[in-house]
A and B are shown apart, each in its own frame.
Chain A
Amino acid sequence: MITHKDPIQIFLADDDEDDRNFFSEAITELKMENRVTTFKDGKDLMDYLEKPDSRLPHILFLDLNMPCKTGFDCLKEIRTNSRFKDISIAIYSTSSSEKDIEETFVGGANIYIKKPNDFSKLKKVIKDVVNINWQFHSSGLNKETFFFSI
């Protein structure tokens, strides 16, 4: 359960180094630098999560197109493990195809973010997502609110 007293922990799994850098820079500029951990692909992420003593994030930003283990695979594994039930998952992808949105929605992701093409927009997205009242968002979840429009 996420409460305001807990400092929010954010994970990002993305195989693109530039994107990881943009993300980290944005977090830094938002002054939340000590709360983010990045993983270079799905396998890296899952290996970490599956360690019994691992620290779990509050929000996981998940890229879809990754080598070895795709975002879809990670989503499926996380949502079938009850230990991870409190993790909010934000899909973070270049694609905005209906198929991907539909599949991840059904797969149990909480929000779908299309990667922005402007740094200021990226900062806004991260800020907004972190500030979402997740409990409220999840209970009223539907396909219209699932796709996060910037």
Chain B
Amino acid sequence: MKFPKLYKSTQIFKIALVIAIVVIGYIASVFYSKMKSLDASVELIATSNQTQLELEKLLSIISNYETNLRSYIITKDDVYLKDRFLSRGEIALNIKRLKVLTSDNPIVNRDLDSLQRMFDYRFKLFRETLTIAKSNNFDRNELNEALLKSTNFTNQMRTFVYKRINTESQKLKKLNDNHQFELEDSIVSAFLLVLLSLLILLLSFNKMRVDINELKKTNDELKFLNHSFNNAEKIAGFGHWKYNLDTQKYTFSDNFYRLLGIEPQSFDSNLENVMDFVHPDDAEYVLQTHKQSLIDHQSTNIMLRYVLKTGEIRYIMSVGSFTRNSLGNLVKVGVNYDITEQFQKTLELEDSNKHLKAINSELESFNNIVSHDLQEPMRKIQMFISRLKEKEADVLSDQGKDYFSKINLAANRMQTLMIDLVNYTRTIKGDKIFVKTSLEKILDQVQADLSQNIEEKKAKITVKNLPVIQAIPFQMEQLFINLISNSLKYSRENVIPKISITGEKINDSDQYDDISISDKKCYKIVVSDNGIGFKQEYAERIFMLFQRLETDSKYTGTGLGLAICKKIIENHNGYIKAKSAPGEGTKFFIYLPKNT
């Protein structure tokens, strides 16, 4: 909806208001002029009525006069002549009033002039008739003639006056029509005015209501936010502060005080009061860093200690940065948080780390002992054995020779064990640096290393489709040395060992401990032999440290070789599993991730 959006825009509303005021102003002025003209037309109607009235009055005076004269002629009583002159003056006044009423109309004025003359003439006729009537011996014929003349003239006058009245009444009718029309016009204007005002009033009221609601909502939200913020500060253990560089005033949040171990707002918010709590050893650095930042406006990141009133020491991290407030003042806003617990934990961690390192270096020296100091006498024992065998074997009895060969075997076994132990520890510790490694090349090296052993057993080794991976090269070498040695060691008697190392595509069904492995993510390498094999139930045991399946003395082993393999594969985030059956050879499946 577009309307509510428009409705919300104060700018649009302002424009609408201005337009409405202009329209109201226009309608009001139209209304005013209408009223004015209405007023004028009322006046015109009044004048016209007055004129009509005055004219009728004139006629009635003349009739009255005439009646009185007739009455006199019949009765000869002077009473009837009493008002004669009075009426005359009244007529003059009447004419005068009419002249004033019709002063703006020259035609009527002219008519009035002729009326005046007609009155004068009529009165002359009256006088003549009266004179005839007053003479004691009047000629009845003469009087009749005079009366007839008078009556005729009166009729003539009446006709004139009625004509005038007629004109006036016509004019009045026209004025009345006009007046009616203007009145209707004004009512429409007034109605429109009221309607429009009402509309604007309603719109303004609604707008106001919406604005107030919005304001209230924002206010509520702000209140809530403020409340939550205060709560959050309390829970998270941080307090914030502000310094206005223009007004040079500090503001501290409630929790800022709590961090100092005191009630909120319990002292004036200024720097000196806070510095009382800063550890004396930190004070100079804190002040210097803070003051410098007020000059160069760079963010600060200070670690300091508070000494609380209880004497307790708290570790505080104080970070501050600069911003401008709504008034455009530069303000440094900062957050202080208590890191005592973390700091102590870090110290503890550092401690235990040191301890671990010490243990580690002890283990390392143990490793050195195994790899060097123990091997040294071992090698010498073997050396002496070889000397004895060469030079003194003849002087030994048969049983002596048997014991001697057992000593030799035991010494050899011990040496292998030590070498394996060293190799195993090497896979646990040490730098795990992954480099691009060609497994084909690794296998070339492995075959060279084992060449003597391979030749002895006349083994056939095939290598196919091996990938180039990210790996620790010496560990990869160790892995294949161990696996191939294993296959050579557990080969079947009188069967030429066949060992293949092949890179294969991963099927959808491939799984390792319920983890499905996809071709996208992993390489699969299969090492298979035609050796003695083992029961599938032992498939996991073979990878455990010092676990050996064959106890027959012809299979020499330390129980470390496959444990080392497993460790190496784990180092490479891969998986290794075995599949075998007695007499059917063994398959080792290796999965190595494509992107390590």
* Pair A119/B387 contact, Cβ less than 8 Å: yes
**Cβ contacts under 8 Å, A18 to chain B:** 380, 383
**Cβ contacts under 8 Å, B382 to chain A:** 117-118
Bound Cα distance A65, B369 (Å): 13
Q: Cβ of B514 < 8 Å from any Cβ of A?
A: no
**Cβ contacts under 8 Å, B387 to chain A:** 22, 25, 119
User: Which residues of A approach B to under 8 Å, CB–CB?
Assistant: 16, 18-19, 22, 25, 65, 94-95, 97-98, 115-120, 122
Q: Measured between C-beta atoms, what is the minimum distance from A86 to chain B in Å?
A: 31
Q: Whose C-beta in chain B lies nearest to the C-beta of A144?
A: B445
Q: Measured between C-beta atoms, what is the minimum distance from A149 to chain B in Å?
A: 8
**Can you list 28 A-B contacts (CB < 8 A)?**
A16-B376, A18-B380, A18-B383, A19-B380, A22-B383, A25-B387, A65-B372, A94-B372, A94-B375, A94-B376, A95-B371, A95-B372, A98-B474, A115-B379, A116-B383, A117-B379, A117-B382, A117-B383, A117-B386, A118-B382, A118-B383, A118-B386, A119-B383, A119-B386, A119-B387, A120-B386, A120-B390, A122-B383
**Cβ contacts under 8 Å, A116 to chain B:** 379, 383
**Per-residue A-contact encoding for B354-380, CB less than 8 Å = 1, 0 else:** 000000000000000001100110111
Q: Known: A18-B380, A115-B379, A119-B383. Contact between A97 and B371, CB under 8 A?
A: yes
12 additional A-B pairs beyond A94-B372, A118-B383, A122-B383, beta carbons within 8 Å, are: A16-B376, A22-B387, A25-B387, A95-B371, A95-B372, A117-B378, A117-B383, A117-B386, A118-B386, A119-B390, A120-B386, A120-B390
**Cβ contacts under 8 Å, B50 to chain A:** none
Q: Cβ of B447 < 8 Å from any Cβ of A?
A: no
Q: Whose C-beta in chain A lies nearest to the C-beta of B376?
A: A94
Q: Whose C-beta in chain A lies nearest to the C-beta of B419?
A: A96
**Cβ contacts under 8 Å, B376 to chain A:** 16, 94
* Pair B415/A117 contact, Cβ less than 8 Å: yes
Bound Cα distance A119, B269 (Å): 88
**Cβ contacts under 8 Å, A19 to chain B:** 380
Closest 7 CB pairs of A and B: A117-B382, A119-B386, A117-B379, A118-B386, A94-B376, A119-B387, A95-B372
Bound Cα distance A19, B474 (Å): 30
Bound Cα distance A94, B354 (Å): 32
Bound Cα distance A118, B385 (Å): 8
Q: Measured between C-beta atoms, what is the minimum distance from B543 to chain A in Å?
A: 26
Bound Cα distance A116, B371 (Å): 15
Q: Whose C-beta in chain B lies nearest to the C-beta of A97?
A: B371
Q: Measured between C-beta atoms, what is the minimum distance from B425 to chain A in Å?
A: 12
**Per-residue A-contact encoding for B461-473, CB less than 8 Å = 1, 0 else:** 0000000000000
**Cβ contacts under 8 Å, B386 to chain A:** 117-120
**Per-residue A-contact encoding for B218-232, CB less than 8 Å = 1, 0 else:** 000000000000000
Bound Cα distance A18, B381 (Å): 11
